[in-house]
Amino acid sequence: MTVANIRPIRRSDLVTVIDIQVGGSLHPDAEDPTKVDAYWRGVDETRRAGGDVFVAEVEQEVVGFYQLLVFRHFQHAGSLCAEVESVHVRASDRGRGIGSAMMAHATEEATQRNCYRLQLTSNNVRDDAHRFYLSNGFTQSHQGFKKALS
């Protein structure tokens, strides 16, 4: 499988991207495909902070996406750090190299933005995802914690 293009998301991609996200979510009920404007505000805010949401296309069809967040760390003398979030590939297209192409793209984007590190978290139950990230050059170096606020 060759990913023809990885590019910044366009508003016209939102319905497809939300559908892909719902299909890969551990909590699909947390998503609301009717709130397209809210999702687009998230894209705008991500861009204002120096990151973006990228889609992967095969034969001009969106089949995956990821979000790249960029933020300034206090450590490393206030250097920039990048975090990958919301990595999803349409279920019927998994195992075809799309996710690896997106991770290579994320690495390139973070490097171009002068980030000293690219990091991500993955839910403990996603064993296949953990193997995928390890095979794409990430190390399992930290234990993550989250606290729900709503």
Amino acid identity for residue 136 in this structure: N
pLDDT, position 2: 67
4 pLDDT more than 90: no
Q: How confident is the model at residue 69 (pLDDT cuts 50, 70, 90)?
A: very high
Domain for residue 56, yes or no? Answer: yes
Domain for residue 38, yes or no? Answer: yes
144 pLDDT more than 90: no
Domain for residue 35, yes or no? Answer: yes
Domain for residue 150, yes or no? Answer: no
Distance CA 137, CA 139 (A): 7
Which residues, in sequence order, are CB contacts of 13 under 8 Å at separation 6+?
Answer: 55, 62, 65
Domain for residue 79, yes or no? Answer: yes
Q: pLDDT, tens digit, for every residue of 81-92? A: 999 999 999 999
Q: Name the token pair of 21.
A: 């996200």
The total number of structural domains that make up the chain: 1
Q: Name the token pair of 85.
A: 């979030």
Q: How confident is the model at residue 150 (pLDDT cuts 50, 70, 90)?
A: confident
Average pLDDT over residues 137-141: 95
Q: Tell me, what DSSP letter sits at residue 13?
A: G
Domain for residue 120, yes or no? Answer: yes
Domain for residue 147, yes or no? Answer: no
Domain for residue 149, yes or no? Answer: no
Contact 99, 66 (CB under 8 A): no
Range of the domain at 115: 5-135
pLDDT, position 1: 55
Residue 101 belongs to domain with CATH number:
3.40.630.30
134 pLDDT more than 60: yes
